[in-house]
Structure 1
Amino acid sequence: MPKLSLVVPVYKVQGYLPECLDSVLGQDCTDFEIIAVDDCSPDGSGAILDEYAKRDSRIHVIHLTENVGLGRARNAGLEKATGDYVLFLDSDDTLSDGALSAIRDRLDATGNPEILVFDYARTYWDGRVHPNLRADLLREDGPDVFSLAERPRLLDLLQIVWNKAYRRDFVTRTGLTFPPGYYEDAPWTFCSLISAERIAVLDRVCVHYRQRREGGNILKTVSRKHFDVFDQYQRVFDYLDAHEELDEWRGPLFRKMADHYLTILERPGRLPQDARAEFFHRASADYRARLPKGFTRPAGGRGHKYGMLERDAYTTMVSALTAVKLRQRVRSRTRTAINRSKRGAMGAFYQSQLRLPLDENLVLFSAYWSRSVSCNPAAIDAELARLAPHTRRVWAVRAENAARVPEGVRVVRVGSREYWAALARAKYLVNNVNFADSVVKREGQIHVQTHHGTPLKTMGLDQQKYPASTDMDFEKLLERCDRWDFSISSNQFSTVVWERVYPCSYTTLETGYPRNDVLVNATAEDVRAARAALGLADGTKAFLYMPTHREYQPGFTPPLDLARLADELGPDVTLLVRGHYFYGSSPHVAELRRTGRIVDVSGHTRVEELYLAADALITDYSSAMFDYAVLDRPIISYVPDWDVYSAVRGTYFDLLQEPPGAVATTQAELLRLLASGEYDSRDTTERRDAFRRRFCEFDDGHAAERVVRRVFLGEESLLPIVPFDERPHAPTPAQALELVERA
Structure 2
Amino acid sequence: MPTNDPPLISVALSVYNGRPFLPEQLDSVLAQRGVSLEIVAVDDGSADGSLAVLEDYARRDPRVRFHPNPHNLGPTRSFERAMALCRGEFLAPCDQDDVWLPDKLAVLHAAIGGHDLAYCDSEYIDGDGRCAGRRISDDLQMLEGDQPLRFVMHNSVSGHAMLLRRSLFEQVRPLPTALYYDWTLAMFAAARAGVVYVDRPLVRFRRHGQAFSSLGKAAGQATRRSDRYRRWIGDRQALLGVLAASRFDTDGRARRLAEALTAAVDGEGCGGLLRGIWHERAALAQHEAAWRVALRLQLRLLRKLHRARLEARTA
Instruction: Give the structure-1-normalised TM-score.
Output: 0.33
Deviations along 1:222-249, one digit per CA (max 9) or x if unpaired, are 899x869837743532432443326446
Aligned to 1:169: 167
Unaligned runs of 5+ in 1: 139-145, 259-280, 317-743
Aligned to 1:122: 124
- Separation in structure 2 between the aligned mates of residue 95 and residue 188 of structure 1, nearest angstrom: 21
What corresponds to 1:240 in structure 2? 244
Q: Which secondary structure state, in structure 2, belongs to the residue aligned with residue 312 of structure 1?
A: helix
| Matched residue type, 1:71 | T
The separation in 2 between residues aligned to 1:33 and 1:241, in whole angstroms, is 34
Which residue is equivalent to 1:72? 77
- Render the CA deviation track for 1:272-313: whole Å, top value 9, x for unaligned: xxxxxxxxx998239968826443499999845532223435
- Partners of 1:41 and 1:207 in 2: how far apart? 24
Deviation at 1:119, TM superposition (A): 2.2
In structure 2, the gaps of 5 or more residues are 1-5, 305-315
CA contact (8 A) 2:151 2:187 kept: no
Structure-1 residue corresponding to 2:3: none
**Distance in 2 between the 1:168 and 1:25 partners?**
21
The answer on 1:216 being equivalent to 2:211 is: yes
Aligned-residue identity in percent: 21
Matched residue SS, 1:197: coil
After the TM superposition, which residues 325-340 of structure 1 pair with which residues of structure 2 at under 5 Å, given as runs? Answer: none
Distance 1:282 1:74, change over 3 A: farther
Identify if the C-alpha distance between structure 1 residues 103 and 299 changes in structure 2 by more than 3 Å, giving closer, same or farther: closer
1:605 maps to none
1:95 to 2:100 alignment: yes
Q: Deviations over 1:602-656 (max 9, x none)?
A: xxxxxxxxxxxxxxxxxxxxxxxxxxxxxxxxxxxxxxxxxxxxxxxxxxxxxxx
CA contact (8 A) 1:284 1:312 kept: no
Check conservation: 1:191, 1:236, Cα contact below 8 A: no
**Aligned partner of 1:187 among 159, 162, 184:** 184
Q: Which AA in structure 2 matches 1:204?
A: R
Post-superposition Cα deviations, 1:553-594, rounded to whole Å, max 9, x if no partner, equal: xxxxxxxxxxxxxxxxxxxxxxxxxxxxxxxxxxxxxxxxxx
Q: Partner amino acid for 2:119?
A: V
For residues 227 and 94 of structure 1, the distance between their equivalents in structure 2, rounded to whole angstroms, comes to: 29
Query: How big is the shift at 1:186?
Result: 3.2
- Measured in 1, the distance between the counterparts of 2:83 and 2:289 equals 42
Amino acid at match of 1:120: S
Cα contact 2:267–2:301 (8 A) shared by 1: no
1:285 to 260, 266, 270: 266
Distance, in Å, in 2 between the alignment partners of 1:82 and 1:7 is 10
In 1: Cα distance, 2:15 partner to 2:181 partner:
16
- Residues of 1 paired with 2:141 and 2:292: CA distance? 28
CA distance in 1, matches of 2:11, 2:289: 41
Residues 119 and 205 of structure 1 are in contact (CA less than 8 Å); yes or no, is this contact kept in structure 2?
A: yes
Q: Distance in 2 between matches of 1:217 and 1:300?
A: 27
Amino acid at match of 2:86: A
**How many angstroms apart in 2 are the aligned matches of 1:176 and 1:17?**
27
Higher relative contact order (CA 8 A, sep 6+): 2
Instruction: Tell me, yes or no, if the aligned pair for 1:96 and 1:208 is still in contact at 8 Å.
Output: yes
2:164 counterpart letter in structure 1: Y
Say whether 1:204 aligns with 2:180. Answer: no
Matched letter for residue 266 of structure 2: A
Tell me how far 1:135 sits from its aligned partner. 7.9
SS at match of 1:60: strand
Contact 2:8-2:35 within 8 A present in 1 as well: no
- Partners in 1 of 2:77 and 2:245 — Cα distance? 24
Task: Give the conservation status (yes or no) of the 8 Å contact 2:32–2:104.
Answer: yes
Which whole-Å CA distance do the structure 2 matches of 1:153 and 1:35 have between them?
28
Which residue does the alignment assign to 1:13?
Answer: 18
Once residues 138 and 147 of structure 2 are traced to their aligned partners in structure 1, the CA distance between those partners, rounded to angstroms, is 22
User: Aligned pair in 2 of structure 1 residues 21, 308: CA closer, same or farther (>3 Å)?
Assistant: same
Distance 1:203 1:304 in 2: 29
Change in CA separation of 1:41 and 1:233 when aligned onto 2, cut-off 3 Å: farther
Which is higher, the Rg of structure 1 or of structure 2? 1
| Residue of structure 2 equivalent to 1:574 | none
**Distance in 1, Cα, partners of 2:245 & 2:187:** 14
Q: Which amino acid aligns with 2:124?
A: R
Residue-by-residue CA offset, 1:452-478 (whole Å, 9 max, x unaligned): xxxxxxxxxxxxxxxxxxxxxxxxxxx
SS of structure 2 residue aligned to 1:19: helix
Is residue 305 of structure 2 the alignment partner of residue 308 of structure 1?
no
Query: What is the letter of the counterpart of residue 200 of structure 1?
Result: V
Q: How far did 1:14 drift?
A: 0.9
8 A contact 2:148–2:187 mirrored in 1: no
Letter of the aligned partner of 2:300 in structure 1?
Answer: D
Which of 50, 53, 56 aligns to 1:48? It is: 53
Say what the alpha-carbon RMSD is for the aligned residues: 4.2
The offset of 1:180, in angstroms, is 2.0
Within 5 Å, give how 1:349-498 maps onto structure 2. none
- Measure how far apart 1:20 and its partner are: 0.9
Residues 178 and 185 in structure 1, CA contact (< 8 A), matched pair in contact too: no
In the TM superposition, 1:646-725 aligns within 5 A as none
SS in 1 for 2:277: coil
Alignment-derived partner of residue 711 in structure 1: none
1:232-272 per-position Cα deviation (integer Å, ceiling 9, x unaligned):
74353243244332644668x87xx98xxxxxxxxxxxxxx
> Would the alpha carbon gap of residues 283 and 29 (structure 1) be closer, same or farther in structure 2, given more than 3 Å must change?
farther
Aligned with 1:291: secondary structure?
helix
Deviation per residue, 1:506-556 (Å, 9 max, x gap): xxxxxxxxxxxxxxxxxxxxxxxxxxxxxxxxxxxxxxxxxxxxxxxxxxx
